[in-house]
Structure 1
């Protein structure tokens, strides 16, 4: 999803349009004869009070301006017909379908699967497997052949040893013999996971089938999950302008300072290139095994056993690190993890079990006859053309014969006939026509139950209706903003250039310095460095003189810096020469200013990104003012006073 799209939907979430209103609900204001009710405004205001970052918007009058602008945009979107666009209708239908799924799962089955999932993520299983590959849609002959082959391989593995058989048979095409290492819940397809967790350590599982084919699993070990770690780190990356140190050299210098007893957090604040964690002394948010995208970092972090343990410097795909263990804990309690596990269960193969339970629930809710209707007519009209994808309904097909009823909706032969016609795709496995038609009917029934529920869920479930309305308005707002504002950089090039010409004072580089910063925990050391710099000694020679292989006394950082650079003391004057010694970031620093770069006007190309953003904000403000003139907005002041009175109580 595009960032702008996400932000638009977030706005739509913050300012939600709920259609259902009570008869006694006050009208707060009217936009071109479309009423907006006080209950909606109060609900939205209260819902988003803690989410609004701009304190001024917590003022009811200011929030009303924002809310009114939102309603004007929606009115304009409908006026321009965005709600009739095929792409809009398609996107809304897809979202409605996805949203409905979260409202239609069987709670009891889901809870049981969530509890099982928690038990499994609490452990890691180490296993190897052998797979005989066979497609899900394979015919009975190929399926039986694959099954017999895996049975034979299991017998061999029991006699000859699993590992020797695994290595021998692996060909990477039809037979796979693989080492899987450790894994826990949700790392494998559900059937595979179940077989692995249900097999004792040292045993070989019975053959089982997944969508990939038939497997046997050799379970080598089971252990408690490694749980969660909280660490701090110092990270160095190749930094443009730093000609003094390479990260692999500088990280070793920092490590020696740690070994000398200097504070880890202070060093992280001074030198770590991770901008998000450096101000916090390098501290990262807690993470669990498999959560990070860097296995090197994760393995080091989980290898630290005791609080305050510190790793040696190591390299990951992101740079060089030193890691300090702050805290470790096992898997969180079940209740804390339950919401996250529910989401995972609904996205996993486990969902098939939930779907089966849903069918049972919907059949009861809509009073659907469990007995399969007489399908002999459909069996009689089937022929081999179906498997050639050329089958058609007969010209005298009994379109209007009733087939089944779901709730208030009657389904006819034509509905199942259309389902059969559309089903002539993919790989079709030949079987007897009676079994084939029954299987197709069961699939038709499941699909029809879900569709009927989706069609009626908006009227059966108020929460679903509210969320759907939020998304519906969000899509309209996205299309409107994209066409009216966001594409300005593509269509308004002349106006953007003119905007830059009229606002050049906003696009100026601040005063900067080309400097070398020396940092040490000892003021005495920096006094020595200051004298050496005054004598014109090169930085490398100063480092060799002051530092040693066993002890790092000073670390240098060089480059172009602004006044807010973390390496610089706030009060340092920008003038050529060597500064006094400052106490900064729990250490001492000395700055040699080589050159002062004066305030510089940026060219249009240099500042184009910011110019476009500012121009879009300018254009949107003018556009909103135009909408206020185009559409008549009538506010009921008495209703607003009642709203303020209610919100202030």
Structure 2
């Protein structure tokens, strides 16, 4: 064969390999007789690629082993019939219903709704409300009773005032009289938001209904929105049983005095803030807007700061004591900048009946449902006066087996609408003609059936929806399996866990610790003097009295059992008894009096229990996986695996 022909053949071979596509029905492997398709493996591999931290798991063959183990567990879960559990099916249904909302909301978003939302985002409303709680599916009589109750409470609110009504009727169960503070668009359900923004300052709205029940809202103030704020904070926890700090307020005030003496906010946050999620970052928090946090006091303190770098006085919340520093403040962004975000929010929010109407019309077009329904006169004829008294029944000669309409592949029968009519008695007074009753009910029935059919067929209409639901279905099943086979055993099988501890004691060791007092100051000369006093065993209170005078805090002490990585100690700190060297640390200086060095020592079972249970579970899972590999037959299609490797490697 000529060289040119050989090169051409090689080129064609490489081209074929790099462009080969995996077919939808290519089986990568099977677990017993259950096939697992290559397309699923490639999709899951690519989806999870960025989430995998272990580089070895990015290798196709290594990931294949993980995937095989995953499928073995699913096979075992089904063998144990965990997928037939009522709790599993209920939770899966709940998740699917939630996910479906993203696909059921009409994509048409009017400029009017988006602009309305933006206008409201630029205004904060301060309001309080009264709620008479009632179930969304409450009976007409209960609904009327709730409505009459809110009407009376509205009058009392106007005549007697909020505080009096709140004291008399708020029970936190059926009746709620609450101060809501400031909020803006998307913070409340849409009907509540509408009432608040459409009510004048000082007025009380007319009663209105949300899914929670009947409300009236009293608007106290409207002001330009404050946008978002970014702050750092120093927090001292509230007292808890066994705390070594007896007076959190005094400690926060000491820290505040050090701030006023010019010490670094970030440094003090690293040293003394007890919010462990932010202390390492100098107390820095993520940006937030009004109504976003669960503490009104914290939000107000943060937004009341004006100049970047400004620091608040100490203040108290339900979480403890705080000092807040302003890092950044931004107004509501321009409309064009957040328009896309607003469109997404509006699509997910039932903000207008027009959106629902558009959706229904689209479904009618999709499933070829005509506006005219020739069968309605038949249903008008079978109604009688008993319908108004909730005693009406379908006639004995009712034509239930006749098709009323067809949605895709589903036939809707006369009996379906007949049952719907029967179930909705007592919703109409005897002043409503039969024809109107049938028309209103048919519209509601058709809307319901269109939505039911669309939702039931989402997997067929949206492949990505089918993939997500499938992943959750398997994930939920796997969770139940692991809980049954592994996690519960680690908690309940105390004898086995203790036996595991006894055979692995060398794995559970205390690191070195010290019983010490640590003195911290921004001034090195103060630390030197404190070191001398500590060496003479001068009581801490006497040292504080000597150096923290005239409302100036020059030294703060931390004492107790401290581990190597304690926030008060530098990494280079030497663990030995006596007075330590002076260390430069966190923009200041520290010295420690080490009373005792606690060397490495074995942990007791109780001390190591959490880690022991975790290790026991991991070991049990390893042994269990060996059993599953022996129980089920896994057959890998090597030729398809080669195609998978080529496709992934050539991406």
Match of 1:287 in 2: 288
Task: Provide the secondary structure at the position in 1 that maps to 2:514.
Answer: strand
Whether 1:322 and 2:347 are equivalent positions in the alignment is no
Larger deviation: 228-237 or 124-133? 124-133
Larger deviation: 466-475 or 188-197? 188-197
Distance 1:113-1:505 versus aligned 2 partners, 3 A rule: farther
Distance 1:180-1:438 versus aligned 2 partners, 3 A rule: same
Within 1, Cα distance between the matches of 2:110 and 2:613? Answer: 49
Within 2, Cα distance between the matches of 1:403 and 1:356? Answer: 22
Cα distance per residue 1:251-286 (max 9 Å; x no partner): 111111111111111111111111111111111111
Tell me how large the CA RMSD over aligned residues is: 3.9
The 5-angstrom pairing of residues 146-545 of structure 1 reads 182-198=182-198, 209-211=208-210, 221-237=221-237, 238=239, 243=244, 246-334=247-335, 337=338, 341=342, 345=346, 348-350=349-351, 352-382=353-383, 392-423=393-424, 428=427, 430-431=429-430, 432=432, 434=434, 435-489=436-490, 491-545=492-546
Within 1, Cα distance between the matches of 2:350 and 2:107? Answer: 17
Distance 1:184-1:461 versus aligned 2 partners, 3 A rule: same
Cα distance per residue 1:190-222 (max 9 Å; x no partner): 3443354356778x699674455696x786654
Larger deviation: 363-372 or 428-437? 428-437
Within 2, Cα distance between the matches of 1:637 and 1:132? Answer: 66
Within 1, Cα distance between the matches of 2:619 and 2:298? Answer: 45
Match of 1:8 in 2: none
Within 2, Cα distance between the matches of 1:544 and 1:630? Answer: 73
The 5-angstrom pairing of residues 581-596 of structure 1 reads 581-596=582-597
Within 2, Cα distance between the matches of 1:566 and 1:316? Answer: 24
- Size of the alignment, in residue pairs? 616
Distance 1:54-1:338 versus aligned 2 partners, 3 A rule: farther
Task: Provide the secondary structure at the position in 2 that maps to 1:108.
Answer: coil
Within 1, Cα distance between the matches of 2:73 and 2:429? Answer: 56
Within 1, Cα distance between the matches of 2:175 and 2:391? Answer: 35
Distance 1:479-1:343 versus aligned 2 partners, 3 A rule: farther
Within 1, Cα distance between the matches of 2:408 and 2:161? Answer: 54
Within 1, Cα distance between the matches of 2:259 and 2:418? Answer: 76
Match of 1:56 in 2: 56
Whether 1:77 and 2:87 are equivalent positions in the alignment is no
Task: Provide the secondary structure at the position in 2 that maps to 1:323.
Answer: strand
Cα distance per residue 1:142-177 (max 9 Å; x no partner): 79x979x89x98xxxxxxxx9779779978699999
Larger deviation: 579-588 or 90-99? 90-99
Cα distance per residue 1:390-444 (max 9 Å; x no partner): 65434332211222222332211111233345557xx855444624443332222
Task: Provide the secondary structure at the position in 2 that maps to 1:486.
Answer: helix
Within 1, Cα distance between the matches of 2:128 and 2:554? Answer: 51
- Listed as ranges, the gaps of 5+ residues in structure 2 are 1-20
Q: TM-score of the superposition, structure 2-length normalised?
A: 0.83
> Post-superposition shift, 1:549?
2.4
The 5-angstrom pairing of residues 592-611 of structure 1 reads 592-611=593-612
Aligned partners of 1:124 and 1:223 also within 8 Å = yes
> Post-superposition shift, 1:111?
6.7
Larger deviation: 305-314 or 185-194? 185-194
Within 2, Cα distance between the matches of 1:214 and 1:495? Answer: 57
Distance 1:415-1:469 versus aligned 2 partners, 3 A rule: same
Within 1, Cα distance between the matches of 2:561 and 2:163? Answer: 60
Within 1, Cα distance between the matches of 2:508 and 2:537? Answer: 37
Match of 2:109 in 1: 109
Distance 1:269-1:312 versus aligned 2 partners, 3 A rule: same
Task: Provide the secondary structure at the position in 2 that maps to 1:371.
Answer: coil
Aligned partners of 1:137 and 1:429 also within 8 Å = no
Aligned partners of 1:169 and 1:177 also within 8 Å = no
Within 2, Cα distance between the matches of 1:502 and 1:131? Answer: 60
Within 2, Cα distance between the matches of 1:75 and 1:505? Answer: 37
Distance 1:309-1:635 versus aligned 2 partners, 3 A rule: same
> Post-superposition shift, 1:382?
4.5
Cα distance per residue 1:437-479 (max 9 Å; x no partner): 4333222211111111122221122222211221222222122
Task: Provide the secondary structure at the position in 2 that maps to 1:607.
Answer: helix
> Post-superposition shift, 1:591?
0.8
Aligned partners of 1:105 and 1:358 also within 8 Å = yes
Aligned partners of 1:28 and 1:636 also within 8 Å = yes
Larger deviation: 553-562 or 427-436? 427-436
Aligned partners of 2:129 and 2:215 also within 8 Å = no
> Post-superposition shift, 1:613?
1.9
